[in-house]
Amino acid sequence: MKILVALLSLLAILLVALPGPLYKHQILELAPAFAALRYAVYVGIAALVLLLVQIIFMRKNISWPVTAISAVFAIVAIALPVSMMGKAKSVPPIHDISTDLVNPPNFVAIAALRADAPNPAEYAGEETAKQQREAYPELITEIYQQSSEQLFEVAQAAVNDLGWTLVNANKAAGLIEATDETTWFGFKDDVVIRISNTGEERFLDVRSKSRVGKSDLGKNAERIHTLLDAINAKL
């Protein structure tokens, strides 16, 4: 029983830990990677049930350090996928977020990088905009009094500070494009920043879009918030 519990707990944590890196290095497709996370929950639950049986009926034969480690592995294997599922249910199933929903910034240099991506470079449309308005009403065009040159330099510095890959920085067009890669699965999400002039004010819009997946688990909205916070902190 002890060996079985230990093996199940180890299997559960591996089913959580390995799918991300395996997908990131193109060893595993996305569908089986997500399936592994679901199986991790089932295996983790089985391990906890057997642990409970062990504690109740086989207490004399328990190795408490091994039992504790097995319990931690099983709990993590259950908690992480369940947390992701909960997050998915709490946000709309969209992956294209923009501060300007009427005229979203377009990808220019990045468009070619997304040529083979499941999610096209074009804006996702009015249905996505409607869901965004309900979920993230605070994401709107930012207005600044600083010069276009200063705002551009600060925005580019913020992109660099965040560790994103700068793809295009066109000061004349007021356009900055970059790619952010998630740590675990290595998902690549693209960002475009647009700075425009109107009289004495400057308007800054940001759009962030995932290359794969239907739902971004709120990551693109979070990324825009992070960028705007970094820009405002510098200003």
* Strand runs labelled E in the chain: 96-98, 142-144, 165-170, 175-181, 188-198, 201-210
Q: How confident is the model at residue 58, as a pLDDT?
A: 84
- How far apart CA 180 and CA 195 sit, in angstroms, is 20
- Residues 6+ positions from 106 with CB-CB distance below 8 Å: 121, 123, 192
How confident is the model at residue 32, as a pLDDT? 97
CA dihedral 72, 77, 81, 86 (to 10 degrees): -30
Quick one: pLDDT at residue 2? 82
| Owner of token pair 């207005």 | 143
Report residue 15 CA to chain centroid gap.
20
Residues whose CB falls within 8 Å of the CB of residue 147, separated by 6 or more in sequence, listed in order? 202
**Does the CA dihedral 164-170-176-179 come out positive or negative?**
negative
For the domain covering 96-234, report its CATH number. Answer: 3.30.530.50
Determine the pLDDT at residue 63.
Answer: 87
Q: How much is the pLDDT for 42?
A: 97
Strands 175-181 and 165-170, by their bridges, are antiparallel
Q: Write down the pLDDT at residue 127.
A: 97
DSSP code for 107: P
The pTM of this model reads 0.90
Q: For the chain, where do the domains classified as CATH 3.30.530.50 start and end?
A: 96-234
Output the 3-class SS for 175-232: EEEEEEECCCCCCEEEEEEEEEEECCEEEEEEEEEECCCCCCCCHHHHHHHHHHHHHH
Q: What is the mean pLDDT of each run of 10 residues along the chain (235 residues)?
A: 91 97 95 96 97 88 90 97 95 98 98 96 97 98 96 98 98 97 95 93 98 96 98 96
- What single-letter amino acid sits at 148? S
